[in-house]
Structure 1
Amino acid sequence: MNKKIPEIITYLRTPEAIRERCNRIFNLACQDQLNNFRIDLTQLDKCANYVINIIYDRYPTLNIPFHSRWQHFQVGDIPRLAELDQMLAGLTPVEKAKVKFDLAIISVLLDAGAGANWQYTEPETGLIFSRSEGLAVCSFRLFCQGFFSSNPDFPWQADTRGLSQIDVQTLTQGFQVSPENPLVGLEGRLELLQRLGQVLNQNSQLFGIDSPRPGNMVDYLWQNQAIEEGRRKKVSPLPPFERGGSRRKDCLWTQTPNNFQHRVDGGVLNPPQNRKDKEVIKATLVLNTVLEGLGDIWPGRSTISGINLGDVWPHSLLKSDRLGDEYIPFHKLSQWLTYSLLEPLQELGLNIIGLDDLTGLAEYRNGGLFIDMELIKIKNPLIVQQQHLPGSEIIVEWRALTISLLDKVAQVIQEKLNLNASELPLVKVLQGGTWTAGRKIAKELRKDGAPPIKIKSDGTVF
């Protein structure tokens, strides 16, 4: 039995497990064996056409970016990322990537649904934003001001000491929260930040030793993709080292002032961004690193052998004698974060492969689209009149059906546009795409633009 425990935990952290478990729920829905929902695939074509129209409205040339946090930072046509690049102009490319990792990770952890009554007024522009865009702009401005950093000379980071200094009062002020401007799940967001600060100290391999920060995962990812490439090409891995990174004692490489890496035996390695031939990195390696490094920050979740499973929830219809069979993984924020870390890695000179190994995101905009387009049909009308916790079987079923339907609608969209999965991967369908379609139809059907099912959120799932 003990050998099975680590195997099932490892499996539940994979996109394969997400799809397999969600498809089991989907098949039950198709057989009308779920308590809360049924599926009507006759609406699939209508839903795909609705999304395609939105894709062409937003991206007429189909030059669609990844579905990631970086798109939200540009809301209001304000060039905030250009502002950030100007601030970071004196840094090396690897250090810039670390800064962007810090920013993306902090912003995504703060990205759970804000509720319909919260908004953020950006002091720099006077513009007002709400929901996910408001959270993005707010976290961006706080990050650039050094809100998450303990080093006044280097504000563009999130480190253990900086995170430990944040309390309810400072977070309330930073997010402009008041009785008239309530933010859903404020305490849950604070708990995530505090847990992140603790986790950074517990994994020096990922986060560094001297000044642990999320951005030091850049070193780890480069090193591990180099190990994979080294095995394939039968050459030695060539990990980079930068300020704030952790060194391995068995490595032959040292950092020099001109940012070239010199071997102890006299050889020279140009930084990866200066190479003509780009290295590759698997999207699943990034996800696995996120799940390994950040898994312990999620509060109050199911565990196996004392290990926190994260965004993984049981469903009674899947339970069997096999350990962990009842659990359905979603890893929504972890995959949203993974998508958001890919662009800094691309800027560093890495090609991302295996994008479609990742799944869609089990959140209420994608899921709301499928209910509002009648692909998912609600059996009991009382469901839409009540609030539901993330662990309720109503929400678990809804999220599982969403994952399976995202794959199906993406395939139909690809066929209609005569594009293959490499040309239009799922991550671009989401951005194009289903998330915006879910928000649009929600506004068309409900005055407040809320999702069709009410979720009682603590700020750590949605």
Structure 2
Amino acid sequence: MTRYPEDSAGNERHGDGWLSPVPEGHPAAALLCAEAVRTHCAAVTEHVASGASERFTWHPDRVHAIADYVASTIRQRYPDLQVPYHSRWRHFESGAGDQRADRWQVLCERAALSGPEHREERARIGIDLVIPSVLLDAGAGPEWRYRDPASDAVLTRSEGLGAASFDLFARGGFSAAPGDPLRADAERLQRIDADSIAHAFQVAQHNPLVGLEGRAGLLRRLGEVMEATPALFGRPARLGNLYDYLKAHAVGGQLDAGFLLRTLLVGLGPVWPGRIVVEGVSLGDCWRHPAAPGGLVPFHKLTQWLTYSLLEPLEDAGLSVTGLDALTGLPEYRNGGLLYDFELMVPRDPGFAAEPHAVDEPVIVEWRALTVSGLDLVADCVRQALGLEEAQFPLARVLEGGTWAAGRRIAAKRRPGGAPPFAITSDGTVF
């Protein structure tokens, strides 16, 4: 059983320092974990596989073809099979073409933070950087571009968003401390507006970014939640203080991935706008589907993406995260697009891809649930194709190597500009 973050230290009274505490036994608690994502998605998948769905049919015979395509993608990108984690850090490394630009190393060197004696502060700064960047990582749209000032490279989609958010952070865009730019403070985040994001992300009439207001609102709300959650972020509230909370709750230098995810879900849950609320607790990226237990399917895509993205700064500071395969694949348009393009799931409506869909439509909820289940099946077959065990090649590496890249690869072959197979209306707060 995954520990509850607010109950896991004997000297913490339940709820102290938490904006929205979730005690064990609260009706929302069972949905705020990766186990719920996997089991609720499995229920929807069983519904579709039985032929009962009006929206999709399910074709598991396609799994091996998908796995072969993913395995070949991994071998092309990582011939030595030394695949890093799927995380936001890969986007910080994006350069022109296939070139790698290690922005983080350069930033640390310039700030004289490269030595082992600075590893804990590096972890805090890494957390300061990556949390806002992940929250800004929802789909950019097909027209947006970012010109990297350092290299003059033109970057798009997630790579562009990663570089733009990195540059904004490096300039002190999230800091409230004069002379100390490399931090993210609640005081500053609460003042972020759409114009600030537009300027930093080079948005113009000819260079539109999807969900601009939603992104700015998410950062402002993040600042508000930080200030109201001193258990995680301290006083004055800084995102990097999360490192100290996690260090205090590590056992023998190890953190369980489920504990890390639940900490983020409980601590950051109030950030998400306009979602389903159960007895005062927001369920975040959780949506309705009639075939799911209780009629709800949690995905927690951005929070799981954030969990994956915290692994590297935590490991740099000496904290290892165990039990990674308790987390799930991320149901978004690259992973889900790969499975859709290979016809693992096929829409019953031949006109499905012709019109954009809202994220809360049952057909999109169903596609995302099928994606989570499908990624587990594909991951097992990919490991077999590569001759690797799960411990050697956890899902976080399959995704990076991997299904996300393969989804982009097949999209580029099938559609101009590598667009997803269908459009989802986004406010910048889901994916």
Q: Does 1:335 align with 2:304?
A: yes
Of residues 139, 143, 148, the one that matches 2:165 is 139
Partner of 2:239: 214
Q: Which amino acid aligns with 1:117?
A: E
Matched residue, 1:354: 323
Q: Is the 8 Å Cα contact of residues 250 and 319 (structure 2) preserved in structure 1?
A: no
Deviation at 1:75, TM superposition (A): 0.7
Normalising by the residue count of structure 1, what TM-score does the alignment of the two structures yield?
A: 0.85
Aligned counterpart for 2:176 among listed residues 125, 145, 150: 150
Residues 122/4 of structure 1: CA separation in 2 closer, same or farther (3 Å cut)? closer
Amino acid at match of 2:254: V
Tell me the number of residue pairs that the alignment of Structure 1 and Structure 2 aligns: 403
Cα gap change, 1:4 to 1:134, in 2 (>3 Å)? closer
Match of 1:291 among 265, 272, 276: 265
2-structure distance, mates of 1:140, 1:311: 25
Q: Answer with 185-194 or 171-180: which moved more.
A: 171-180
> What is the aligned partner in structure 2 of residue 281 from structure 1?
255
Q: Does residue 1:22 correspond to 2:41, yes or no?
A: yes
State the Cα deviation string for residues 60-107 of structure 1 (Å, max 9, x = none): 010000000001111112221211221342473211100000101011
CA distance in 1, matches of 2:77, 2:372: 23
Kept in 2: contact 1:88–1:96 (CA 8 A): no
| CA apart distance, 1:372 | 0.4
Which residue type is aligned with residue 378 of structure 2?
A: V
TM-score, with normalisation over the residues of structure 2? 0.91
Considering only CA atoms, is the larger Rg found in Structure 1 or Structure 2?
Answer: 1
AA in 2 matched with 1:84: L
Residues 318, 358 of structure 1: alpha-carbon distance in 2 compared, 3 angstrom cutoff: closer
Note the aligned Cα RMSD (angstroms): 1.5
Gaps of 5+ in 1: 230-278, 320-324
Counterpart in 2 of 1:225?
250
Equivalent of residue 168 in structure 1, options 181, 185, 194: 194
**SS at the partner of 1:459?**
coil
SS of residue matched to 1:281? strand
SS at match of 2:334: helix
* Distance (whole Å) between structure 2 residues aligned to residue 151 and residue 4 of structure 1: 35
Output the CA distance in 2 between the equivalents of 1:339 and 1:304: 27
Whether 1:405 and 2:371 are equivalent positions in the alignment is no
In structure 2, which of residues 84, 90, 97 is the aligned counterpart of residue 65 of structure 1? 84
Aligned match of 1:80 in 99, 103, 108? Answer: 103
The equivalent of 1:249 in structure 2 is none
**Contact 2:255–2:319 (CA under 8 A) maintained in structure 1:** yes
Q: Is the 8 A contact 2:57 2:346 kept in 1?
A: yes
Q: Given that residues 43 and 291 in structure 2 are in contact (C-alpha distance below 8 angstroms), is that contact kept between their aligned partners in structure 1?
A: no
AA paired with 2:47? L
Q: CA deviation at 1:4?
A: 11
The one of 276, 284, 287 aligned to 1:302: 276
Is the contact made by 1:5 and 1:305 (CA closer than 8 Å) also made in structure 2?
Answer: no
Where does residue 344 of structure 1 map in the other structure? Answer: 313
2:369 is paired with a residue whose SS is helix
The worse-fitting range, judged by mean Cα deviation, of 78-87 and 212-221 is 78-87
How far residue 5 of structure 1 moved from its aligned partner, in angstroms, is 9.3
CA contact (8 A) 1:43 1:374 kept: yes
Q: Corresponding residue for 1:180?
A: 206
Q: Which amino acid aligns with 1:121?
A: R
- Distance of 2:407 and 2:51 partners within structure 1: 24
Q: Shift of the alpha carbon at 1:318?
A: 3.1
SS in 1 for 2:351: helix
- State the 1:284 CA deviation: 1.3
Q: Which amino acid aligns with 1:118?
A: W
Could you say what secondary structure the match of 2:57 adopts?
strand
Which residue identity does 1:130 align to in structure 2? T
- What is the CA-CA distance between 1:392 and the residue it aligns to? 0.5
Letter in 1 for 2:45: F
The equivalent residue for 2:354 is 385
Whole-angstrom CA distance in 2 between matches of 1:140 and 1:48: 33
Alignment gaps of 5+ in structure 2: 1-21
How far apart are the structure 2 equivalents of 1:216 and 1:88?
19
Amino acid at match of 2:72: N
1:108 aligns with 2:134: yes
Deviation at 1:6, TM superposition (A): 4.4
Per-residue CA deviation, residues 350-399 of structure 1 (Å, 9 max, x unaligned), is 22210101111011100000010111111101210111111100110000
Q: Percent identity?
A: 45
Match of 1:313 among 268, 272, 287: 287
Aligned to 2:19: none
